[in-house]
Structure 1
Amino acid sequence: MVALPLKEIETPAFEVIDPRFEACTVPDAGARRIWSGGRWAEGPAWLASQGLLVWSDIPGDTIWSWHEASDTVSTFRYPANSPNGNTVDRSGRLVSCEQTPHRITRTETDGSITSLVDRIEGRRFQSPNDVVVKSDGSIWFSDPSYGRKAERPAGADVEGCHVYRFDPATGAVRQVTHDFVMPNGLAFSPDESLLYIVDTGSTHLADGPNHLRRFRVGADGALSGGEVLIAEPGGHFDGLRADTEGRLWMGTDDGVRCYWPDGTLIGRLRLPERAANLTFGGADGHLLMMTATTSVYVCRVNAAGATP
């Protein structure tokens, strides 16, 4: 375990665009870099029972951890099968997207790893990217082709890039979207009646989408609606989280943006690197933790994540 030098960002952390954002800010709070040297940092998740923030360095094939109480960083898992998105289930266990074996795994309380799902109807997933767990225990994950090995045999993978719902209790997996180019970040609203999904198809198509869509979640897990809530032509959205008030915090080119539930941009938390993903955590739940290209940043906010 190694203690790293920490640095405050010299520029102010918050940019208030709409007065409603002021309620989310902490006066004089700064974004602090707690780790650097990664090649592409992703998938932050807060393990409350251990006081740990974990995140992935995908090209580095490593999951790292930061212990808040001691302010130290250490290797959580290496090798880690090209890890991407991470989240925590309602029992406090880490759930991870692994790109190399194209699967979703769960880290048990004893540290062992359970492979949960790696295919649908006999075909492997493309490259699981981001993941969330609903209160009923179902696991929802996006599956774009980022990180997919080109040499895989024809017909071995599913066709297209979709979002899936997996039920660990029954083993059933279901495709829940059908018209995405590159499904990416996803998050539930506080009451889980809505699912927000980012499409970053502009990375592969000149006229492809870079927007956030909003779906209604049925009692049977089916999605309906799917209208575009926020669009960013020419930019890059990525991961997002909802807070307890339904505001949406999203990783973008200029750091993290905060949107009102109706899609209105109300503020920014500027970072010197492109933010890939974020989560809420810390001992009091009010620490915004952000993976941004080569580094990880934390900043105190007056907001908390919608799910524990």
Structure 2
Amino acid sequence: MPLLRTALFLFLIVSNGLLVAQEEWESLPPTKLGAELDEQVESHLDLTFGKGGDRDLLLHLYRPRNAEGSLPAIVCIHGGGWGKGDRRHHANIAKAMAARGYVTVTIDYRLSGEAIFPAHIHDCKTAVRWLRANAEKWGVDPDWIGATGASAGGHLAALLGSSGGVAELEGDGGHAEFSSVIQASVPVGGQSDFLSERNRQISADREIWQAFLGGSQDEVPETYRLASPRAHLDAGDPPIFFMAGEFDDPSTCGRELRRDALKLGIPTGLNVVAGAPHPLLNKQKFFDIVVDQLDEFFTLHLKNEGVPEIKASGDVPKINGKWSQIGGGYGGSEGPQWIIENGEPTLIYAAHHDHLVFRWSPQKGLRVWRDDSPEATSFRPDGKGGYYVVEQTTRQVTRWNEKGERTEVLADRFEGKRLNRPNDLRVHSDGSLWFTDPDFLFRLRPDEFKELEGQYIFRLDPESLEIRAVVKDANKPNGIAINQDGDSLFFTDSTSKNIYRAAIYEDGSVGRREIFATSQFGGLDGLTFDSEGRLWNAAKTDVKVYQPNGSLLGSYTFPSKPTAIAFHPDGWVCVTTRDAAYVGQF
């Protein structure tokens, strides 16, 4: 292989911890749909869905064979730098998703050279309106339509999601009496912020961008704004999930748009496909990963109408109606705490690794309380209008005021050495603070140093600031709770399957721990008592509910690993998981 060719095409792929050369990428089997899939899907080819300028726009439509009733639909948008390709080039995705139970269409749109932006998005919106206009004929549920696309098609899918109601982007391709608003989108390897500095520099000399948008960002900034999915994002927009190859440009991960979406309460997420470059759909291995992710996301947000599948088993207390997901796509979520704000139940919780703290109430919905949080994960009322807070970034226990401003550092050291990573905190009826201090995250943060030899449970007097290690023999203490009488401490250890109980004595010391209950798996997290004295535990695969004697009542299974639980006297409950927050009411 000539040296120049090697320099241009040789890249390294990290997959399962191994370095894999370009030759291995080339050796991966190409994407190919089997004959059995064709048998599962009925095809309707070359249907006219609207006008793009003076020409007809065509699509292919696929539907599960012999499916009855109305199904959610997905608009599939091909890539090609906005200047190449047609409806055939996203047919594999459309067929694969039709076999999963959707009506899918893969569409033409006007390309650069034929027209400049916004013609491309005009045609995509025409396709959505056509689906609604022909919903009865093709068995489409007009209330549940999503979009996905790759590369340039990923950008257009993202823009479809965020630009509902933007008149300049509607176009006049047909079916104007129907809405072009979609209910979910999954861009794959697509751009989402055309106003970024990275894209300003690229647009200055990249011809495909100038052909698409009619010039560089400096020359036509308003066009770049119109084309930018991030610029249109608001709280009414549908869920959006990004997929990108590990070796694609980082801009395809939609980092800034996803953070904006988190702050607005829009469910979002990201799957970076390990070992994959930009054209990941060309290889069967990565194509299958994408299809599975599309199906998971669209099942929740189209088939299930955004209602998560949460299953109760045994004799657990049942909620009225269904659980609601109030936020998602987080890099971690913990610390739910109910308070009363202006006479109504209000929830505080954290997306701590995203540095966000939220408030939510049934009347006001979700709103950001802090967007610069030091990875705070517990918010316990201090009785003075403020909160006792643990901060994972600073490795401190602090006090915040009612505005979310830190006013005091209560503890950051024990016997002269920095705390590990304060994690969960409870307030005893005598006013003392009890918190766990595991050594999470040191392996992921090599610039930080562990100073304490052990991982303890501490008792802290918030007035005198006296701190004592009351449990020293835990491996990795995590969740913590104190019973209503204040005479028993309960805690989990992430390395154990057990929930432990220890007596609390009048002098603040604790007795020998004993096993309260044993779960099937380790990795146990938060603990909380309900008003009936039942202990709820965020276990590895579900939320388990225990009687006061330690017997298991049953469990709730959530879409991802639970982390913490909180109750309000009015019957509200919140469960946080690794990536979302859910509420229900008994």
Instruction: Tell me if both proteins adopt one fold, taking TM over 0.5 as the criterion.
Output: yes
Deviations 1:71-95 (CA, angstroms, capped at 9, x unpaired): 2x22211221122233233345322
Structure 1 position 65, deviation (Å): 2.0
Aligned match of 2:401 = 108
Residues 76-133 of structure 1 show CA distances to partners (whole Å, capped at 9, x for unaligned) of: 1122112223323334532221112110112113543122111112111000010001
Match of 2:357 in 1: 63
| Aligned partner (choices 144, 147, 167) of residue 438 of structure 2 | 144
Q: Partners of 1:57 and 1:3 in 2: how far apart? A: 11
Write the letter of the residue equivalent to 2:356. T
| Structure 1 position 9 matched with structure 2 position 308 | yes
Deviation of 1:31 after TM superposition, in Å, equals 1.4
Aligned residue in 1 for 2:285: none
Pairing partner for 2:416 from 122, 147, 155: 122
Q: Which residue of 1 aligns with 2:570?
A: 285
Compute the TM-score of the two structures, normalised by the length of structure 2: 0.46
- Partner Cα distance (2:421, 2:521) in 1: 24
Counterpart of 1:262, as a letter, is: N
Sort the Cα spacing of 1:42 and 1:110 in 2 relative to 1 into closer, same or farther, 3 A.
Answer: closer
User: RMSD over aligned Cα, in angstroms?
Assistant: 2.1
Q: Tell me what 1:179 maps to.
A: 473
Q: 1:296 aligned to 2:576?
A: no
Q: Which moved more, 1:234-243 or 1:191-200?
A: 234-243
Which is strand-richer, 1 or 2? 1
Does 2:447 correspond to 1:161?
A: no
* Mapped partners of 1:177, 1:10: distance in 2: 38
Specify the alignment match of 1:38 in structure 2.
330
Q: Are 1:46 and 1:88, in contact at CA under 8 Å, matched by a contact in 2?
A: no
Matches within 5 A, 1:19-30: 21=316, 24-26=317-319, 28-30=320-322
In the alignment, the residues of structure 2 paired with residue 129 and residue 247 of structure 1 have an alpha-carbon distance, to the nearest angstrom, of 23
Contact 2:309 2:559 in 1 (8 A): no
Structure-2 change in CA distance of 1:29 and 1:254 (3 Å):
farther
Would you say 1:84 and 2:384 are equivalent positions? no
How far residue 67 of structure 1 moved from its aligned partner, in angstroms, is 2.8
Q: Is the partner of 2:353 in helix, strand or coil? A: coil
- Alpha-carbon distance between aligned partners in 1 of 2:355 and 2:473, rounded to the nearest angstrom: 31
Residue 193 (structure 1) shift: 0.9
Deviation of residue 218 (structure 1)? 0.4
Q: 1:121 to 1:255 in 2, by over 3 A?
A: same
User: Cα–Cα, structure 1 residues 232 and 174, in superposed 2: closer, same or farther, change >3 Å?
Assistant: same
Structure 1 distance, partners of 2:265, 2:421, is 33
User: Residues 251 and 276 of structure 1 are in contact (CA less than 8 Å); yes or no, is this contact kept in structure 2?
Assistant: yes
Taking a change above 3 Å as real, the CA distance of residues 177 and 158 of structure 1, as seen in their structure-2 partners, is same
**Alignment partners' CA distance in 1, 2:398 and 2:386:** 10
Do 2:265 and 2:326's aligned partners in 1 also have CA atoms closer than 8 Å? no
Q: Is the 8 A contact 2:330 2:351 kept in 1?
A: yes
Alignment of 1:269 with 2:556, yes or no, is yes
Could you tell me how far apart the structure 1 residues matched to 2:403 and 2:354 are? Answer: 25
- CA drift at 1:287: 0.9
Superposition deviation, residue 237 in structure 1: 1.4
Q: TM-score, normalised by structure 1?
A: 0.84
Extract unaligned runs of 5+ from structure 2. 1-234, 236-263, 268-304
* Post-superposition offset of 1:234: 3.1
Cα distance in 1 between the residues matched to 2:533 and 2:543: 16
Give how far 1:3 is off. Answer: 6.2
Distance 1:234 1:257, change over 3 A: closer
| DSSP-derived class of the 1:169 partner | coil
**2:570, 2:386 → 1: CA distance?**
17
Match for 2:498: what amino acid? H
Deviation for aligned residue 1:294: 1.1
Sequence identity, in percent? 28
- Secondary structure class of the residue paired with 1:223: coil
Amino acid at match of 1:42: E
Q: CA deviation at 1:189?
A: 0.7
Higher CA-based Rg: 2
In 2, the alpha carbon distance for the partners of 1:36 and 1:233 equals 27
Name the SS of the counterpart of 1:59 in structure 2. Answer: helix
- Secondary structure of 1:47's aligned partner: strand
Is this contact kept in 2: 1:57–1:63, CA < 8 A?
Answer: yes
What is the rounded CA distance, in whole Å, between the counterparts of 2:384 and 2:571 in structure 1? Answer: 21
Q: Secondary structure at the match of 2:453?
A: coil
Q: 1:3 to 1:77 in 2, by over 3 A?
A: closer
2:482 to 188, 202, 213: 188
CA contact (8 A) 2:356 2:373 kept: yes
| Residue in 2 that maps onto 1:219 | 506
How many pairs does the alignment contain? 282
Task: Pick from 529, 538, 542 the counterpart of residue 251 of structure 1.
Answer: 538
Matched, 1:93 2:392: no
Is the Cα–Cα contact under 8 Å of residues 190 and 243 in structure 1 kept in the other structure? no
* Distance (Å, rounded) in 2 between the aligned partners of 1:131 and 1:91: 17
2-structure distance, mates of 1:213, 1:260: 14
Shift of the 178–3 alpha-carbon distance from structure 1 to 2, 3 Å rule, reads: closer
Once the two structures are TM-superposed, the CA of residue 143 in structure 1 deviates from its matched residue by 0.2
Q: Report the Cα distance in structure 2 between the residues aligned to 1:92 and 1:229, rounded to whole angstroms.
A: 34
- Of residues 484, 507, 521, the one that matches 1:234 is 521
The one of the two structures with greater contact order (alpha-carbon pairs below 8 A, sep at least 6) is 1
